[in-house]
Amino acid sequence: MKFLTLLFFLVFNFNIIYASNSNELYEKIDLFGEVLEKIKKDYVDEIDQSKMMDSAINGVLQSLDPYSAYMSPELFKEMQTDTKGQFGGLGIEISMESGVVKVIAPIDDTPAAIAGIKAGDYIIKIGNDQVQGKSLMEAVKLMRGPVGTTIKLTVRRKNIKKPIEFKVTRKIIEVKSVNSEILGTNKNLGYIRLKSFNENSDKQFLNIIKEYEKNSKIEGYILDLRNNPGGLLTQAINITDFFLDDGEIVSTKGRKISETRKFFAKNGDEIKGKPIIVLINNGSASASEILAGALKDHKRAIILGENSYGKGSVQSIIPLRNGGGMRLTISKYYLPSGSSISEVGVTPDIVIEESGNDFKINSKSDNQLNYALKLFNS
């Protein structure tokens, strides 16, 4: 009886939002109850009603978008990870698409990146477990484990017929968000690779810019956001502000007034109008897209590479009274032009696709970076 009461509460509250009239609402409640009763009575195996309810709740959330999900009390407790630049796992940012796990981006120098996992890969098996039918959080849980242990990931990759298997060794992931060096035949270009937007990224970034600006030879900058899955919105705003004198950076719109905001640049371009080329790819998501999109809309930078991922939404982790939690989309990002990033991404001014089997970011085989260098030297 407790099970059916909880079920009725779930269905009633979900349908009251979406049902067009009361008759349809009650019909759907009756139908849902009938289905569950038949499962309980006639299904070939005895079912765990608690797990089935978790799946039902998660199904409601995942029908909204790829980023909303339910976490049981056990899973919610396990998911309380350190958000200050260190966490355990494989080093990949993921989402759900068509019932399987899609890689948004592998983080540089992590086990997943070293093993060869790429942005856009679909993970279909984790160890011996099929991903189909599991929630995003369940998939994350499967990928986590003791440091030093190895797990097999089976992936589908665009333009490759057969599944590919990777063995990845788990480790503590320490995200060093900013790398930099001076490039160009005349050593006149500042190259800054931003791998994520964590709580210290803007300070690291600004310190590098200040050092480079002391060098009279620096004539421009290449900002590399490839395989950057995003992070803190505040960091994206602060870093974008380095390059703008004024104007809107990004806006967020949600159903609540508190989630509808606009963010503007303050006076002061830290590089005094020097040219910028921003590199993006399919693994550039969320905060990366805000930075690239704002600079593009203000015609402050040339965007080069491949279309970005298209994650233009904000999720909030909401604790629930049973000790679990849910990840719920509460607002969406909009660029200064008014365009939404969601499922669209940022389109480069110059499309240069990754090429070559030995492609590696910031190496001799990096055709995208090489093209950017040619643009500056031409």
The DSSP symbol for 265 reads P
Instruction: Could you please state the CATH topology (level 3) that the domain comprising 178-377 is classified under.
Output: 2-enoyl-CoA Hydratase; Chain A, domain 1 (3.90.226)
pLDDT of residue 20: 54
Please state the φ and ψ torsions of residue 359, each to the nearest 5 degrees. Answer: -60, 135
CATH for 86-174 (2.120.10.30, 3.80.30.20, 3.40.50.1000, 2.30.42.10): 2.30.42.10
- How much is the pLDDT for 141? 83
pLDDT attached to residue 80: 63
For residue 193, the model assigns a pLDDT of 96
Q: Cα(first)–Cα(last) distance of the chain, in Å? A: 75
Is 188:373 a contact under the CB 8 Å cutoff? no
Beta-strand pair 171-174/220-224 = unpaired
Residue 333 phi, psi dihedral angles, 5° rounding? -85, 145
Matching fold, domains 86-174 and 178-377: no
Q: What is the 3-state secondary structure (H, E, C) of 245-301?
A: CCCEEEEEEECCHHHCEEEECCCCCCCCCCCEEEEECCCCCCHHHHHHHHHHHCCCC
Q: pLDDT tens string for the chain (378 positions)?
A: 444 444 444 444 544 444 456 678 788 888 888 888 888 888 898 888 788 888 888 888 888 988 888 888 887 877 665 444 455 689 888 888 877 889 999 988 889 999 999 999 999 999 999 988 788 888 888 888 888 889 999 999 988 999 999 999 999 887 778 999 999 888 899 999 999 998 889 999 999 999 999 988 899 999 999 999 998 999 999 999 999 999 999 999 999 898 899 999 999 899 999 999 999 999 999 999 999 999 999 999 999 999 999 999 988 889 999 999 999 999 999 999 999 999 899 999 999 999 877 888 998 999 999 999 999 877
Structure tokens at 276: 């910028």
pTM of the model: 0.81
Domain coordinates in residue numbering, the chain = 2-75, 86-174, 178-377
Question: What gap in Å lies between CA 270 and CA 214, rounded to an integer?
Answer: 12
Residues annotated as catalytic (active site), given as ranges: 286, 297, 311
Question: Would you state the pLDDT for residue 285?
Answer: 94
Nearest alpha-carbon partner for 261 in 317, 310, 328, 333: 333
